Amino acid sequence: MQMDNQLPPKKAPGFCSFRYGLSFLLHCCNVITMAQRTCLNLTMVVMVNSTDPDPHGLPNTSTEKLLDNIKNPVYNWSPDIQGIILSSTFYGFVIIQVPIGYFSRIYSVKKIIGYALCLSSVLSLLIPPAAEIGEAWLIVCRTVQGAAQGIVGTAQFEIYVKWAPPLERGRLTSMSASGFLLGPFIVLVVTGVICESLGWPMVFYIFGACGCALCLLWLFLFYDDPKDHPCISISEKEYITSSLVQQVSSSRQSLPIKAMLKSLPVWAISIGSFTFFWSNNIMTVYTSIFIDSMLHVNIKENGFLSSLPNLFACICGILAGQLSDFFLARNILSVIAVRKLFTAAGFLLPAIFSVCLPYLSSSFYGIVIFLILAGATSSFCMVGILINGLDIAPRYFGFIKAYTTLIGMIGGLIASTLTGLILKQDPESAWFKTFILMAAINVIGLIFYLIVGEAEIQDWAKEKQHTRL
């Protein structure tokens, strides 16, 4: 147990402090990038009319429909083209993970995130004209946008190496990461309304404009190092820097790749990320389909019900961050005990609640409640395995986060593909098989993490014993 590095030397402003404001600013960045990424999932419903051979209407079409097609242009994209368009951001996101994990250690994170957020927002503005030109342009646009969003999502974890005191890692990271959950909630709630009242192109224009405005705010307010920030108070600056003096080095060291690959704690985080993304991707991608097949509600009700797990996951994630840091500050639990406790809750509870779902087909409220519980409890992992890399190798956290996220996204891709095959081949018992398999993956990942997971700084991550490659 490494508690000697966990106690800050003195008190500093708490919730109303600059570091919490920074975490909230990151939260807003994550909300916008997730909104830009996921809004197409719902707008695709009104963008595509597979029953109409002419994507822009026929001469005999009514005046009302022609006017609606002007506000909501319709395209004749086949299901396979739709699948490529929807998944194109994923490929851009995957490709950029390891490179940005490396370069975020070398270059200014302020500029990396600011420019990437600007690029994602500009591309959001370009999506409607790209769709009008052709699906190939839309795919290219979405792929590059996915890479930009991947930069924002990964590079931000390097910030906490210099900005997050050890006893506040849980609450700061959970506050910012909860934006990944709140973004889809906002999209599912407002996208349908915008499509009906203003047309689907306005969805991309609104979120793109919000991203551009937020980019300017980010470049103005954020600094890479609290020591250089002109607005932060002296007491808070001393509190942060003195808390991290034993783990943050000003010198840039080459990555100990071989040591990382041999490290069991890194493998524990990697397999845990694979497990988390497996279950999270199923719940994110297939919740709307599950609701449609079980509850048979209209698109507006489906969007609202599908958004509820994200909202409660956001709330639970923030509360989990507060609770985990409370345990550490009061010396109730060690760091590794906190990480394993919340990881266990984040793996086991969603597995239990999701396995119960197929048996609740006759209960509308039962399905909704258990869907909310399954989605909400998965957010406990945000203060468990998902930030464990900051404990074992703080100066390499950005790269470890990128590497483990890449492995996790592979798990998410396999999960969504396999679930689609199960739904196609065996529709009667498909959901039972899907959730049982998800539960089994969660249990296996948890067992491995409980056995080999650690929270002490590893020898290869210490400056004195670092080996250059």
Dihedral through CA 342, CA 343, CA 349, CA 351, nearest 10? 170
Tell me the C-alpha distance between 455 and 169, whole Å: 13
pLDDT number for residue 1:
41
How confident is the model over 321-343, as pLDDT tens digits? 989 989 998 889 999 999 999 99
Tell me which residues of the chain have a pLDDT lower than 50.
Answer: 1-9, 50-64, 66-67, 250, 465-469
Fold of 13-248: Growth Hormone; Chain: A; (1.20.1250)
Q: Is it true that domain 255-469 has CATH number 1.10.600.10?
A: no
Place of tokens 């014993």: 465
Are residues 154 and 104 in contact, defined by beta-carbon separation less than 8 angstroms? yes
Place of tokens 């524990």: 268
Q: Return residue ranges of the chain for CATH 1.20.1250.20.
A: 13-248, 255-469
Count of C-beta atoms within a 10 Å radius of residue 64: 8
pLDDT number for residue 227:
85
Q: How many CA atoms lie within 13 A of 325 on its CB side?
A: 22
pLDDT number for residue 469:
42
Nearest-10 crossing angle of helices 299-329, 335-356 = 160
Backbone angles phi, psi at 457, to 5 degrees: -60, 125
